[in-house]
Amino acid sequence: MRSKTFASAVAMLFVVAGVTPANAEIVITQKAKKFDKKRIEIKKGDSVKFINADSIAHNIHSRSRGNKFDLGVSKPGTSVSKVFDKNGKFKVRCAIHPKMKLTVKVN
């Protein structure tokens, strides 16, 4: 009960001060032609950072209605990020390795 009161007080301070809490950044690692998670649930405005920890290139994209994107080719040792600014359930894939699948649910 006490933690709920504290959380409510902090939220109220943000509202009174006109400050919006920062959005989260979720990290997904690509290794062995797989995403390290099969599904994630995030909040609208959060970003997902895709880190290529593999020895080969990947191409992260989504053809999901309402959130189509293509982040281009990411070489080993690089990362790319995507902000999810719409609610929904989106399927993320690698254009090079079609068995790489990630579902992102945005609330």
Kindly state the tokens that stand for 36: 């390290």
Q: Could you tell me the pLDDT band of residue 21, with boundaries at 50, 70 and 90?
A: low
Interval 22-34 mean pLDDT: 94
For position 66, what pLDDT does the model report? 83
Instruction: Decide: residue 6, CB within 10 A, 0-12 exposed, 13-18 middle, 19+ buried.
Output: exposed
Above 70 in pLDDT, residue 91?
A: yes
Least confident of 6-10, 43-47, 55-59, 89-93: 6-10
Could you give the CA distance from residue 32 to residue 91 in angstroms, rounded to a whole number?
A: 19
DSSP element (H, E) containing 51: strand 47-52
Kindly state the tokens that stand for 81: 């990020």
Mean residue pLDDT across the chain: 87
Structural domains of the chain, with CATH: 23-106 (2.60.40.420)
Angle at 64 between CA 63 and CA 70, to 5 degrees: 40
